[in-house]
Amino acid sequence: MQTILILGGGKSSTFLIDYLVDTCLSKSRKVLLADLDLELAKSKLNERKNTEAKSLNIESEQEREKLISEADLVVSMLPAFLHPIVAKTCLELGKHFFSASYESDEMKSLKSEIESKGLFFLNECGLDPGIDHMSAMKIIHEAKDKGDEILSFKSYCGGLLAPMSEDNPWKYKFTWNPRNVVLAGQGVSRYIEKGDLKFVPYHQVFKRTETLHFDRLGDFDGYPNRDSLNYRKVYGLENIQTMLRGTLRRAGFCKAWDVFVQLGLTDNSFEMELPEGSSLKNFLNTFLPFNQDLSVEEKLAEAIPTMDFPTFEKIQWLGFFGNRKLPKTKGSPAAILQAILEEDWALYPEDIDMIVMQHLFEIKSATSIKKITSSLVCFGEDSVYTAMAKTVGLPLAIAVDLFLDKKIRLKGLYVPVLPEIYEPILSELSARGIHFVDKEEILTGTGSN
């Protein structure tokens, strides 16, 4: 009997757990689900056949080794910084490893040892990264097979609210890790545009946006992710003139979020200690110049000259101009802001989330230059069975199933950019309603050139 060990039973694991548990009945498998919270793990498995919940302190080497030794294959849904710890133990014990997270430098350093032991380690097989890689590579490989040249590639993805659940001016709630949302964009974003390298420092990221449109959904803000240049090699597009990967938010979100960035409310580099009973207005005021003749609202308008009414409305809705008490008074500005937003941007049980992804290609053939717009829209079911959990968990679960069925026969360290990996995964996702809609537009004829 094949044994699959899933580490982590959090929000993003729901669909992955259900998919792999369903395979247990027909394919002689067992699923072990380990989490620090044993009751959570039990609730996710719900006493289904060939499953077992385990309690695990992942930082305990003894516990970790004992549990991993029981499995044939390990799926890590833990926070990304823990993946190398798990991966090294898998390597020592000769176990295959799967994750949806970015392939870190530490993971890459294990490459030769993974190959020498004949193991299969797959990373970046979730949503973003994951579905973005697979769907993009499908178009890239099809174009290259025709002898066409990829001139430009931009890819954007966002985890947002479905229109029927957009009940606040931000049109946003947390559908994944709140800390990652609050700290998003920090560092320097790098991309290439028509041959020019572009470097965007954090204080400019939410100003440097592009408008993207989805049929029946309207407009979105797209801002650049940290490093798009690295993916030229991953996608086999080393000579491409335009390459950008970015994040999507509803139109107007970025302008309002940039207020927090400019003032310093997203800073995570120092600790604050405000008096007990301080309000959101007190917190905001600590980042504004002293002027006893002006209100906080007036000082904010002076500090942010580009402030317009929709932006003011978003900040007002959060309670920054009233006497609402801070949920915490100690911590970094980013941590305090996160605590505020976790109250206001929490999903209601009936809320429906939405994943939107769009690839924008310009491709040159012998006769023309065409634009391909490839769009994915996926809706969740409720606040537990979310679109985020579906699109993160299903690709990874499908990959595990394919590998155990010997339909993926690779050995070594991979991300899902090879047809052997992405073609069957995309096919299965499409059968489950997760598919792209492509539109082509001829930009110009090229004649014999």
| pLDDT at res. 60 | 87
403 part of a folded domain: no
Alpha-carbon distances of 179 from 73, 78, 101, 119, 160, rounded to whole Å: 29, 15, 16, 33, 16
Examine the pLDDT at 449 and tell me if it is beyond 50.
no
Burial 182-217 (b: 16+ CB within 10 A, else e): bbbbbeebbbbeeeeeeebebebbbebbeebebeee
User: Is 0.75 surpassed by the pTM of this model?
Assistant: yes
Same domain (yes/no): 212, 355: yes
Mean residue pLDDT of the chain comes to 94
Provide the domain limits for residue 178. 131-252+350-386+435-445
For the segment 362-373, the average pLDDT, to the nearest whole number, is: 94
| pLDDT at res. 448 | 41
CB of 116 closer than 8 Å to CB of 123: no
β-bridge pairing 120-122 and 412-414: parallel
| pLDDT at res. 175 | 86
Q: What is the pLDDT of residues 209-252, one digit of tens each?
A: 999 999 999 999 999 988 999 999 999 999 999 999 999 999 99
Same domain (yes/no): 110, 144: no
Same domain (yes/no): 117, 153: no
Place of tokens 């294959």: 73
Examine the pLDDT at 407 and tell me if it is beyond 70.
yes
Q: What is the pLDDT of residues 111-152, one digit of tens each?
A: 999 999 999 999 999 999 999 999 999 999 999 999 999 999
β-bridge pairing 2-7 and 29-35: parallel
Q: What is the pLDDT of residues 70-114, one digit of tens each?
A: 999 999 999 889 999 999 999 999 999 999 999 999 999 999 999
β-bridge pairing 436-445 and 196-201: unpaired
423 part of a folded domain: no
Examine the pLDDT at 190 and tell me if it is beyond 60.
yes
The domain boundary, picked from 123, 139, 171, lies at 123
Same domain (yes/no): 277, 306: yes
Same domain (yes/no): 47, 108: yes
- Burial tier of 363 (Cβ tally within 10 Å: 0-12, 13-18, 19+): buried
**What is the Cα–Cα distance from 334 to 355, expressed in whole angstroms?**
25
- CB-CB neighbours of 288 under 10 Å: 16
Same domain (yes/no): 76, 101: yes
Q: What is the pLDDT of residues 279-288, one digit of tens each?
A: 999 999 999 9
User: What single DSSP character describes residue 279?
Assistant: B
Same domain (yes/no): 140, 231: yes
Q: CATH no. for residue 70?
A: 3.40.50.720
- CB-CB neighbours of 343 under 10 Å: 11
| pLDDT at res. 57 | 86
